[in-house]
């Protein structure tokens, strides 16, 4: 019987090699360890064996049983592990698809604009969307009731602002005003200057609000990026150089730029900045209204009155500031003809970028 056991063990080890699934392993387990299996067959023949031999045979049989159990357990563990790890690689199975999202085109535009200014030494700061009349108007040299407030009409909250330390209010005999949703990111200029001394180079992205009726080119909420640099020797030519470097990197090397005189209460002199039309390269087309130029931002040298609001000593610093509308820039760059597309959350539009 001992010889027989040896033979059976050889057979078992051969069979084990062919096992490739848990199902096959179950069949093997039943064959050897099951109630009517090979091992119980041996044990049932025990009574026929000579009494003197029984002890030795018992030992042989038990150790064979242990080996069979441990081999089966090992294979079972190995098969379970491969099942958890995704099994053997089957290149014919269909791939597992997953939805990879993209950042909203406005976020992408904001990020690429900011990263250009970061390489030019600007620091990104975010401001608050709820502001006081003081920072949205007064501090920027737009006195309350002045016609210039027209251009920056916005939404008002009903609470009265309480801060009293804002400079210039005494003189103008007014209060910090009500809270409102900022109508321009320029609010951040004075807030930053109040807290930090020059040299300053700041860019700030964010939402602004104006109660415009919505159409293809207007929205009551849109995004701006504000930028400003303040120091003892900041010149208008620094503004030109900075904006030109930005436009070339963002729109392409061949872009031309022009500065037109304009008026903003918080800059003097003030300009509007155009780039040569990126569609027709300046020849004139429907996108640029046959002018060959596209307006991209407003800018100028920081008005002394703004430095006064910030509490800077008179005449010590100079600076430039600019503000651009992100939607407008994205529309120009990607040929989008309706501002509403940005906010409708239509994935067919958003997935294109
Ligand atoms: N805040 C201005 C606007 O919203 C843009 C601007 C910013 C102009 C900074 C000059 C300087 O139109």
Kindly state if the Cβ of 227 falls inside 6 Å of ligand 1. Answer: no
Q: Rounded distance, CA 110 to CA 203, Å?
A: 11
Supply 21's token pair. 């699934």
Supply 163's token pair. 């801060």
Maximum Cα interatomic distance, the chain, rounded to a whole number of Å: 122
Q: What is the pLDDT of residues 170-223, one digit of tens each?
A: 777 777 888 999 999 999 999 999 999 999 999 999 999 999 899 998 999 999
pLDDT of 168 strictly over 80: no
Q: Is the pTM of this model over 0.75?
A: no
Which residues neighbour 200 within 8 Å (Cβ) at sequence distance 6 or greater? 192, 193, 228, 229, 230, 231, 319
Q: How far is the CA of 285 from the centre of ligand 1 (A)?
A: 27
At residue 170, the pLDDT reads 75
Q: Rounded distance, CA 39 to CA 28, Å?
A: 12
pLDDT of 82 strictly over 70: yes
CA-proximal residue: ligand 1, atom 6 (nearest): 323
The better pLDDT of the pair 267, 18 is held by: 267
Kindly state if the Cβ of 276 falls inside 6 Å of ligand 1. Answer: no
At residue 193, the pLDDT reads 97
Q: Rounded distance, CA 337 to CA 323, Å?
A: 21
pLDDT of 237 strictly over 90: yes
Q: What is the pLDDT of residues 257-303, one digit of tens each?
A: 999 999 999 999 999 999 999 888 889 888 888 999 999 999 999 99
223 membership: H or E segment, kind and range: strand 221-231
Residue 330 · residue 105 · CB < 8 Å: yes
Looking at the chain, list the stretches that DSSP marks H as alpha helix, in order from N- to C-terminal side: 2-17, 22-33, 38-44, 51-84, 105-119, 133-136, 169-172, 187-195, 236-251, 304-310, 326-334, 347-350
At residue 114, the pLDDT reads 98
CA-proximal residue: ligand 1, atom 12 (nearest): 298
Q: How far is the CA of 163 from the centre of ligand 1 (A)?
A: 25
């Amino acid at each position: 019987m001992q010889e027989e056991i040896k033979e059976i063990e050889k057979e078992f080890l051969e069979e084990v090699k062919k096992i490739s699934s848990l199902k096959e392993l179950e069949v093997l387990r039943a064959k050897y360890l099951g109630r009517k299996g090979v091992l119980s067959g041996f044990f049932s023949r025990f009574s026929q064996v000579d009494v003197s031999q029984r002890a030795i045979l018992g030992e042989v049989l038990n150790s064979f049983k242990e080996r069979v159990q441990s081999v089966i357990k090992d294979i079972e563990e190995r098969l379970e592990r491969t099942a958890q790890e995704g099994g053997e690689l089957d290149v014919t199975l269909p791939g597992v698809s997953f939805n990879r999202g993209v950042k909203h085109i406005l976020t992408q535009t904001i990020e690429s604009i900011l990263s250009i200014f970061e390489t030019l030494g600007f620091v990104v700061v975010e401001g608050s969307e709820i502001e006081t009349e003081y920072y949205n108007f007064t501090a920027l040299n737009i006195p309350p009731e002045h016609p210039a407030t027209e251009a920056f009409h916005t939404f008002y909250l009903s609470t009265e602002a309480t801060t009293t330390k804002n400079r210039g209010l005494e003189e103008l005999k007014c209060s910090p005003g009500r809270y409102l949703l900022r109508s321009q990111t320029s609010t951040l200029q004075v807030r930053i200057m109040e807290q930090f001394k020059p040299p300053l180079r700041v860019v700030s992205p964010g939402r602004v609000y104006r109660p415009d009726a919505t159409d293809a080119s207007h929205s009551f909420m849109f995004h701006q990026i504000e930028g400003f640099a303040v120091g003892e020797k900041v010149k208008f030519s620094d503004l030109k150089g900075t904006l030109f470097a930005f436009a070339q990197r963002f729109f392409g090397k061949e872009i031309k730029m022009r500065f037109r005189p304009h008026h903003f209460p918080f800059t003097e002199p003030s300009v509007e900045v155009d780039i040569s039309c990126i569609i027709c390269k300046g020849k004139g087309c429907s996108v640029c209204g046959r002018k060959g130029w596209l307006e991209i931002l407003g800018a100028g040298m920081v008005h002394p009155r703004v430095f006064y609001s910030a509490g800077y000593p008179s005449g010590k610093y100079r600076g430039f500031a600019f503000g651009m509308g992100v939607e407008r820039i994205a529309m120009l760059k990607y040929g989008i003809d309706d501002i509403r597309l940005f906010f409708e959350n239509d994935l067919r539009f958003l997935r294109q970028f």
